[in-house]
Amino acid sequence: MTMSTSAKVISTLRIVLLGGSCLFGAAAHAEVPVNGSTYADAAVEAVESMMRVERKTGLPRLSDKVDGKVLEDAWNEPAILGAPPYGANDIQALLNIVQKQARILQAYTLYSPNPGRTPPDLARNAAAYQDEISRSQAFLISAVAASLDAIADFVAQIPAEAKTDARLQGVRQMRLGLQEIVNGMALGLRSPSLKEANQVLLAQALAGNAQRLVAGLSPADRNALAATLKAAQPALKPAAQKPIADVIAAAASAPCEGLCALK
């Protein structure tokens, strides 16, 4: 992913999190995944602690034996996200997980050895930390899919008398923000500097979450995602072709119900 796209993802995440906090307020504590939010808090704090120690010389690297183990903890999907389906009671926990992951993505994207004095070297960060940025993005794709699943359940449970214009507009805005995050990551598949392994990683993350992603998107947003992926196809390595074709097919064939049908 280009650095400008990463920065846009970070900006969009802030809007999504703010909108979610205002929309859902004091939602019930998460039931699924069990302790996922707490695990994420501890794992991200461990990563950020390493970052504070290493900032002058760089950030933690996946290739480092010690750093890599700590980073893998922050991207441990089974422990943090559990498994679908997700419900309305999971929204607060999932938003916290997305927020914490956004902090890791931001740290690598906007790294500077002298924050406040030296502006981030965006191009250098994109190249130097591509592996870490790609892993964070892949995790975020799964977290976004889980969030859309939970929001869909929330919408299904709203009593007719509580479906106010303000509440539904909040849901629409949040859905759009999540869609923009996914679309931004899909756009990054075209980057000529993206390593094959990272391209495949992102393609597989999109394919593995395709059904839940498209189920939560409006028809227009599905079309936008499919168009972005089709534009990326000429740049895809062979191992990334089928996963992306599967996402495009899902966007075209999945029934439009529930959150998708919300106008």
pLDDT tens for each residue of 65-95: 999 999 999 999 999 999 888 999 999 899 8
Query: pLDDT (tens digit, 9 = 90+) per residue, 92-149?
Result: 899 889 889 989 999 999 999 888 899 999 989 989 999 999 999 999 999 999 999 9
Please answer whether residues 22 and 173 qualify as being in contact, where contact means their C-beta atoms are separated by less than 8 angstroms.
Answer: no
Torsion of CA 110, 231, 15, 28, to 10 degrees: -110
Q: What would the two tokens of residue 220 be?
A: 């227009």
**What's the distance, CA 60 to chain centroid?**
20
Distances (CA, A) of 219 to 29, 214, 225: 31, 9, 10
Give alpha helix (H) positions in 75-164: 77-80, 91-109, 122-128, 130-157
Per-residue exposure over 157-186, b if at least 16 CB sit within 10 Å of its own CB, e if not: eeeeeeeeeeebebbebbbbbbbbbbbbbb
Query: pLDDT (tens digit, 9 = 90+) per residue, 38-60?
Result: 999 999 999 999 998 866 679 99
Query: pLDDT (tens digit, 9 = 90+) per residue, 145-191?
Result: 999 999 999 999 989 888 888 888 889 888 988 888 899 899 999 99
Cα–Cα distance between 141 and 136 in angstroms, integer? Answer: 9
Please answer whether residues 82 and 36 qualify as being in contact, where contact means their C-beta atoms are separated by less than 8 angstroms.
Answer: yes
End-to-end CA distance of the chain: 31
pTM: 0.89
Burial class of 89 by CB neighbour count within 10 A (0 to 12, 13 to 18, 19+): middle
Mean pLDDT confidence for 227-244 = 97
The H or E element containing residue 182 is helix 165-187
pLDDT of 15 over the 80 cut:
no
Please count the structural domains in the chain.
Answer: 1
Give the structural domain span for 184: 3-261
Cα–Cα distance between 18 and 12 in angstroms, integer? Answer: 10
* Closest listed residue to residue 212, CA positions, set 175, 187, 242: 175
Q: Which residues contact 107 (CB under 8 A, 6 or more apart)?
A: 48, 51, 59
* Closest listed residue to residue 201, CA positions, set 167, 244, 161, 171: 244
Q: What would the two tokens of residue 82 be?
A: 């559990």
Cα–Cα distance between 190 and 194 in angstroms, integer? Answer: 8
Q: Which residues contact 77 (CB under 8 A, 6 or more apart)?
A: 139, 142
Q: Which residues contact 29 (CB under 8 A, 6 or more apart)?
A: 89, 92, 93
Per-residue model confidence (pLDDT) at position 27: 43
| Residue linked to tokens 């495949």 | 200
